[in-house]
Structure 1
């Protein structure tokens, strides 16, 4: 068995996979994971470190799929990619397709990665830092906890939307900082970034919470649909997240019937009925 460690870098895995293919090493003889000795080709078998004689023709579309799926956190993260690569390099392109069992898992992972990128775009909440912090510091910071390695690629979304402002997104693993001209990615998020993003106070939070609580419509609440669009794992990092459980509880205990939030219902005037005429 050949044991490899790619440090969760697609570029490193790609070089390892190229070497494996060139020596015609079957996927069943390879595993990826942390090894005690950080050797690119850690193995208990004897293979030359240079590439072998076999040269595979790999479609560009496959490499794009593999790079996207490589962002997925899960079991057999890198082994699955090599199995797909092996089959396609030997003429079986069904491994790329959803109709194949292996291809179906590949496509599922890609879909999850894309969905996680959408979650980053939808649920990141930037908070403005005081101007007194300093000219070299970000003007806006955000904390996010993605399930997959999407920060580096998905954060490009904010470059055009934030103009020349300096901003930073910190996660438990990595972080990005835009200095107004270029996007800097740190694979290991500096602790200073994490502390800054997690502890900053939003001076406008009270205003936003008041607005959110007033636009919440209990008569239209569907918890399952809401969870699908706004997974509960993100609530703790959203300003409005602390309000959501209470608003759902109110809706379930009668406010769906009233068709309005309790604070609104307490005001003078006619009650909005959710019944049918």
Structure 2
């Protein structure tokens, strides 16, 4: 068994896969793992570091398919891609199709990646930072020395797949020339008004800034959200399908949602009115003379 470590980088995996194909190494003989697991496997075969005689030809659409599917985090993340590449390079293009057993798994992963990118666009909340507060944080300044600029907006997000780098391009045109930063438990991005910088290991200073940012308009937003929450039309299963519970903890309105759902279940779904509104005194309307 040949064990490889691509460091979860598609370009590194692509070079390794090209080398494997050139030596006609079957997918059953290859595994991608982390370095500390490498001693669990061994190979009796010795292959030269340079490419072998076999030259594989694959369609360009396959490379795009594999690159998008590579953002999926899960079991057999890289081995599955090599198995698809192996079959297509040997003339079996059905491995790219959703009707094929292997292709079906690839397309399932593509859907998961696309859905996770949608979640980033829909549920990420930027918080505006007062310049004076950021400027006092020397640790943040040190972490941003590469740009010599500080963010105006920050956000914290916890994606299930490696979609941050590609999906965050969505905000480049929408935020104009404003500087913003998104931090995650794994990686981070910073847009300095001109270019998007991606850090595969999110600096601790970025994470601290994004997680501890105080939204100056938070109370106003919570008041607004609690009043527009429609208890009369609440369907918890549908709601959780569109807004998974794993995102609630990182949304400003997240702490309100369980209580609002509870209110709906205990009667508010029947009358459809928030308690604060129902208790207000009505106005007397007098007819004119």
Structure-2-length-normalised TM-score: 0.90
2:181 pairs, out of 168, 171, 191, with 168
CA distance in 2, matches of 1:43, 1:159: 47
What's 1:83 paired with? 83
Is 1:2–1:44's contact at 8 Å kept on the other side of the alignment? Answer: no
What's 1:48 paired with? 48
2:252 pairs, out of 224, 239, 246, with 239
C-alpha deviation, 1:253, in angstroms: 1.0
CA distance in 2, matches of 1:173, 1:43: 32
C-alpha deviation, 1:117, in angstroms: 0.5
C-alpha deviation, 1:261, in angstroms: 2.0
What's 1:96 paired with? 96
CA distance in 2, matches of 1:201, 1:151: 23
What's 2:197 paired with? 184
1:109 paired with 2:109, answer yes
CA displacement 1:155-193 (0-9 Å, x = unmatched) = 000011111111000000000000111000000000000
What's 1:275 paired with? none
CA distance in 1, matches of 2:99, 2:275: 50
1:203 paired with 2:216, answer yes
Is 1:168–1:178's contact at 8 Å kept on the other side of the alignment? Answer: yes
CA distance in 1, matches of 2:177, 2:45: 53
User: How do 1:1-277 residues align onto structure 2 when only pairs under 5 Å count?
Assistant: 1-36=1-36, 43-132=43-132, 133-134=134-135, 136-269=149-282
CA displacement 1:172-222 (0-9 Å, x = unmatched) = 000000011100000000000000000010010000000000000101111
- SS of equivalent residue, structure 1 residue 176: strand
CA distance in 2, matches of 1:43, 1:113: 34
C-alpha deviation, 1:269, in angstroms: 4.9
Is 1:4–1:43's contact at 8 Å kept on the other side of the alignment? Answer: no
C-alpha deviation, 1:267, in angstroms: 2.5
CA distance in 2, matches of 1:263, 1:70: 49
Alignment coverage as a number of residue pairs: 268
- SS of equivalent residue, structure 2 residue 197: strand
Question: Greater shift after overlay, 109-118 or 126-135?
Answer: 126-135
Q: Structure 2 regions of 5+ residues with no counterpart?
A: 136-147, 284-289
C-alpha deviation, 1:67, in angstroms: 0.4
CA distance in 2, matches of 1:80, 1:37: 19
C-alpha deviation, 1:236, in angstroms: 0.3
CA distance in 2, matches of 1:211, 1:43: 63
What's 1:273 paired with? none
- SS of equivalent residue, structure 2 residue 189: strand
Question: Greater shift after overlay, 183-192 or 218-227?
Answer: 218-227
Is 1:177–1:184's contact at 8 Å kept on the other side of the alignment? Answer: yes
Structure-1-length-normalised TM-score: 0.93
CA distance in 2, matches of 1:24, 1:131: 58
CA displacement 1:30-85 (0-9 Å, x = unmatched) = 000012499xxx95520011111111111111110100010001000000000011
Give the CA RMSD over aligned residues. 1.7
CA displacement 1:198-252 (0-9 Å, x = unmatched) = 0010010000000000000101111111111111100000000000000001111
